[in-house]
Amino acid sequence: MSGIRPNKLTIQRWRYMFVVMVLAILPVAGFWHIASLQVLPDVDRGYEFLQIQGQARTVRTETIPAYRGVITDRRGEPLAVSTPVVTLWANPKLMDNRAPELTELASLLSITREELQQRLARYANKEFMYLARQVTPEQAEQVLKLEMPGVFGQPEYKRFYPAGEVAAQLVGFTDIDDRGQEGMELAYDHLLTGVPGAKQVLKDLKGRVIKDLALVRSEKPGQNLALSIDLRLQYTAYRELKAAMGKFQAASGSVVILDVRTGEVLAMANQPSFNPNDRSQLSSDALRNRAVTDLVEPGSTMKPFTVLAALESGKYSPETLIDTNPGSIRVGRKTFYDHRNYGVIDLTTLLTKSSQVGTTKLALDLEPEHIREMFYRVGMGKSPGTGFPGESPGSLPDYRRWPSIERANFAFGHGFSATALQLAQAYAVIASDGLKKPVSLLSVNDVPLGEQVVDPELAATMREMMTHVTQTGGTATRAAISSYDVAGKTGTVHKVGKFGYEKHRYVSMFAGMVPADNPRLVTVVVINDPRGDDYFGGAVAAPVFSEVTADALRMLKIPPSLENIQQEVVLNHRQPGDAT
């Protein structure tokens, strides 16, 4: 019996070819997909797409902070500089609220672990929260060394003020985002602020910068600003003002020193003040630059301009006599008194003794518009134009009909208001032979021409008359400076309250120029609300003027006149018992 032969397995040819083709196509399709992902640029979701997506997750554009311009005094001494700091921030979504490192992080941030956990919980749905603003680079390095996921540092700049409270109201300060908020920082914020730059960086999964890739644009630092003040004079003015504030228990005060030739403010000190580097205890009362914002009735410091108007009228000369008997005068329902009956006096004595009766008679004899126009010409009733934020123009009323009482009040500085800076500018007119020059808080290179508002000879005559105020018999002997002739005038006014003038509260002032024969400096001192028995300008403000201006003359090397030097030598060589 023959054996049974097994059936031969047959496969249809088309199936075989199909399998072969599939096996052949699979590697080709795989290679094509790989090529589309890594080589071919124009296919959908190709390698360019993947690169963009990858870079979007690792390449970032970071801001390069711009350096804010430096503020200096006229000699280049820094008043405001920017120092590098780091702001620490976190992405709460990347942080573990239960991580053991939170304890050390909280300690470095000077808070408790519980406080930090509460903040993270509050921002749990956010991708940004501040941990600490503007810490030192050393403090930031300690935090970043922890290498906690979600904790980052951003380089920034923080403003520092080397002069501290000495020039605080003038220089001002910036906020935490480096924007000007007060003073010159605010007035010139557009110049001081730089333009931030940008760069592309490569970051790892923890957000740390691995590599700087490209500079998108360079940062542009802000412009530097040179102020007109001399920090040496500023320190002196601040020191003497602060001492006077303590001695007389005054509420506030200001000192302004002007350069007569250029109109530059060489010092502008105010009290009370504050430390711009630590504003945790800052009060709004200390913020004001009182020399340019606070208004006072200038009082008797305006009498020289009333006398100047009289001289200008042609009806009077320094020797013109005025009868002040019996030491008082009644105008309407108001009676004005002198300290005593000075009898018949000339205009120079009127200034020397600050006679209310003599000034009143002078005012009633002149056209009221003439006196007001004189005040306006020297700067009353209009802003000095320094550009300082909040600068006040004061007030200078103009009446259609001038009652006699208003004419009298106006003549000795009542019924209108001015700032210490306006008063300094007015005195600078007399000091510069009748030229009114613009006042500047910035250092100037060229001497301004100014405007001739008073006859030069009359200005010189007025300076000579005003020197008697600081000499024996005058109201401001304490304003005298050894070896120098000082021309100036005191002022003492009652403070204005809710119900009119307050009986026992005063503002004490002194304004003067030196050397009187060729003035280089004008100094104005205003002491508000001194308490105690001494409140007259000659007792309170005049000594401050003397100390501040004497130091300024020495620092600026302004010599006295040869005549004064010779007189000083003679006095120093006299022996006790010599005839005087």
Residues recognised as catalytic: 300
**CA–CA dist 33, 43 (Å, integer):** 10
* 8 A C-beta contact, residue 522 and residue 258: yes
Where does residue 571 rank: exposed (0-12), middle (13-18), buried (19+ CB within 10 A)? exposed
The answer to whether 267 and 256 have CB atoms below 8 angstroms apart is: yes
Residues 432 and 518: their CA atoms lie apart, in Å, by 8
Q: Enumerate residues 6+ apart whose C-beta is below 8 A from 99.
A: 148
Q: By the 8 A CB rule, do 401 and 231 touch?
A: no
Output the CA angle 73-294-271, nearest 5 degrees: 55
Residue 371 CA to residue 361 CA, distance in Å, equals 13
- Structure-derived torsion over alpha carbons of residues 445, 450, 454, 455, reported in degrees to the nearest 10: 80
Give CA separation, 308 vs 353, 362, 449, 511, in Å.
16, 11, 22, 16
Q: Write the CA distances from 340 to 324, 330, 345, 355, 574, integer angstroms.
A: 10, 15, 13, 9, 36
Contact (Cβ atoms closer than 8 angstroms) between residue 305 and residue 378? yes
Residue found by looking up tokens 């509260």 in the block: 505
Calculate the alpha carbon distances from 355 to 98, 226, 322, 477 in Å.
82, 44, 10, 16
Q: Which two tokens stand for residue 303?
A: 């009498």
> What whole-number distance in Å separates Cα of residue 489 and Cα of residue 342?
18
**Burial of 429 per CB tally in 10 Å (0-12, 13-18, 19+):** buried
In the numeric block, the tokens 């504050």 are attached to 274
Alpha helices in 146-225 (DSSP H): 168-171, 183-187, 189-192
β-pairing, 265-271 vs 252-259, is antiparallel
What DSSP line would sit under 226-248, residue for residue?
EBS--HHHHHHHHHHHHHHHHHH
Distance CA 98, CA 467 (A): 79
Residue 272 is given by DSSP the state S
- CA dist 367 and 454 (Å) reads 17
CA distance 106 to 148: 12
8 A C-beta contact, residue 79 and residue 162: yes
Q: b/e per residue, 406-416, with b = 16+ CB within 10 A? A: bbbbbbbbbbb
Residue written as token pair 């020039």: 167
SS3 content of the chain, % helix, strand, coil (to 5): 40, 25, 40
